[in-house]
Amino acid sequence: MSNITRRSFLQRGTAAAAALTIVPNVVLGKAHGHIAPTDKLNIAGIGIGGMGNANLKNMEKTENIVALCDIDWRYSKPVFDRHPQAKKYWDYRKMFDEMGSSIDAVMVATADHTHAIITADAMTLGKHVYTQKPLTHSIYEARLLTKLAEAHPEVVTQMGNQGSSDEGTDLVTEWIWNGEIGEVTRVDCATNRPIWPQGLNTPEKVDKVPKTMNWDLFIGPAKMRPFNMTYHPWNWRGWWDFGTGALGDMACHILHQPFQALKLTYPTRVQASSTMLLQDCAPTAEHVRLIYPARENMPKIAMPEVEIHWYDGGLLPDRPVGFPDGEDMMGMGGGITIFHGTKDTLVCGCYGQKPRLMSGRVPNAPKAVRRVKDAMRGGHEQDWIAQIKAGSSRVPCKSDFRIAGPFTEMVDMGVLAVRLQTLNKELEWDGQNMKFTNIGPNEEIRILKKDDFKVVDGDPKFNKIYTDPINAQAFAAEMIKHNYREGWKLVDMPR
């Protein structure tokens, strides 16, 4: 057992983990490039009741599942039952303590707010990681995982946005790089989500925590709140403390194509509007505009400033010229991306699927990016496994954290723009330093805590209850870098 796992992860708390560095290969034995293609990886699953179950099915065909961790043992029962040989855990820190040395790789599919801490701890222990999208809940967390991945390229990383491995995304990228639609200065993206209720007041009823679940571990680094059935499973995505609304849920599948094909970096200006914005729950519909500065030109195409528009909750961009009458814009997997070029318009569906030009022309661009087979049917997970086993000949996964981290910042920025919309201005962003430059030190924001609209004796009674004024800089800073609950701490940012 390594020194790290001998010293208790739980006893030390994650605070002490901050001081640790990646464990060298010699300590971990077969990890990091010492796994022959014929060897099976020992994989641990964390957050296995929902999408994690699907991810594990795509891994267990070829690899060993040695440990399973979930805070809800009723919801996770089918996975536990399918893997009676795997050791069961409530707390991933105990799992790392006890089994750290026998785990090669980790799959993380918990609620969004716990992705970063679990993933950073796994990377710190030298484990290869497959983490669901959005990679993180905050911009700082995304920057941290990017830097950890840069500092430790021997750890193979993949975010779970499977469309990044799909050939549709490859074609979109190649067509744009080959100049098939000319220069792109505007992209419209939309999803039909949320398909779950949002725009809700905070539940006031306190439900009994089922014996089969651990609410404290679900909350993890977030602020403690009383349990209510509405949060878990699955519906957490609409609650700001745990999820990222429709944006976080779908933008990783729909904004990825512009992020990759247009080689986006950090936005410089952002603004958003939405239906009623509450303190706790994401709105039912949002529009976000992100401006990206000009990037370095490519051999066949210039990369001028571009504005990216995001719509959800039923809002849609204008139908592009040439989009067939009668065709549902949400008909391609519940999402659409429209690249407006100077020569043509390129449209693809969610996950980058079914790309086509509105002129009807079919481009024949040279292959410029690597292909992954059957991306949407397990190929994305299997490519991560293949790269782990490829040792010195490995290539970056399609959603390696060095790409997925900066991309997740784009998605998290959309959430920030929505939550700061009542400042009533276009916000200016200094990406390098992760701060807004045009929020003054004395600016304040009041946030709607509760919409107490009632009909009394047939009369509408309006009653909106707001927080006291909050310093806007401090509010933004907390969303950019969360203050974790006591007992939970992220590893330090690598220099």
Contact footprint for ligand NAD (CB under 6 A): 46-52, 69-72, 75-76, 92, 109-112, 114, 132-133, 160-162, 217-218, 220, 233-234, 249
Please list the alpha-helical segments (H only) found in 18-129. Answer: 25-28, 51-60, 77-82, 92-99, 115-124
Kindly tell me which of 252 and 418 has the beta carbon lying closer to ligand NAD: 252
For residues 303 and 319, what is the distance between their CA atoms, to the nearest angstrom?
24
Kindly tell me which of 158 and 421 has the beta carbon lying closer to ligand NAD: 158
Kindly tell me which of 195 and 294 has the beta carbon lying closer to ligand NAD: 195
Kindly tell me which of 410 and 476 has the beta carbon lying closer to ligand NAD: 410
Q: Which amino acid is at 383?
A: D
CB neighbours of 14 closer than 8 A, spacing ≥ 6? 93, 117, 121, 487, 488, 489, 490, 491
Rounded to a whole number of angstroms, the minimum distance from the CB of residue 50 to ligand NAD is 2
**Contact at 8 Å (CB) between 158 and 130?**
yes
**Contact at 8 Å (CB) between 69 and 214?**
no
For residues 248 and 134, what is the distance between their CA atoms, to the nearest angstrom?
6
Q: Which amino acid is at 442?
A: N
Kindly tell me which of 219 and 358 has the beta carbon lying closer to ligand NAD: 219
Kindly tell me which of 269 and 482 has the beta carbon lying closer to ligand NAD: 482
Parallel, antiparallel, or unpaired for β 105-108 and 335-341? unpaired
CB neighbours of 242 closer than 8 A, spacing ≥ 6? 111, 112, 113, 222, 231, 236
Question: Which SS3 state, helix, strand or coil, does residue 433 take?
Answer: coil
For residues 167 and 179, what is the distance between their CA atoms, to the nearest angstrom?
18
User: What are the backbone dihedrals phi and psi of residue 191, each rounded to the nearest 5 degrees, phi first?
Assistant: -135, 155
Kindly tell me which of 163 and 317 has the beta carbon lying closer to ligand NAD: 163
Kindly tell me which of 387 and 399 has the beta carbon lying closer to ligand NAD: 399
Kindly tell me which of 112 and 383 has the beta carbon lying closer to ligand NAD: 112
**Contact at 8 Å (CB) between 412 and 134?**
yes
Q: What is the DSSP string of 230-268?
A: TTTTTGGGGBTTT--HHHHHHHHHHTHHHHHHTT----S
Rounded to a whole number of angstroms, the minimum distance from the CB of residue 108 to ligand NAD is 8
Of 142, 82, 130, which Cα lies nearest the Cα of 105? 130
Kindly tell me which of 128 and 133 has the beta carbon lying closer to ligand NAD: 133
How far lies 270's CA from each of 176, 235, 274, 415, 417, in Å? 24, 27, 14, 11, 6
Please give the residue whose beta carbon sits closest to ligand NAD in the complex.
Answer: 50
CB neighbours of 352 closer than 8 A, spacing ≥ 6? 163, 164, 166, 168, 169, 170, 171, 172, 256, 257, 337
Of 341, 320, 332, which Cα lies nearest the Cα of 262? 341
DSSP state of 73: T
Kindly tell me which of 20 and 48 has the beta carbon lying closer to ligand NAD: 48
**Contact at 8 Å (CB) between 34 and 175?**
no
Q: Which amino acid is at 448?
A: L
Kindly tell me which of 197 and 440 has the beta carbon lying closer to ligand NAD: 197
Rounded to a whole number of angstroms, the minimum distance from the CB of residue 120 to ligand NAD is 14
**Contact at 8 Å (CB) between 123 and 149?**
yes
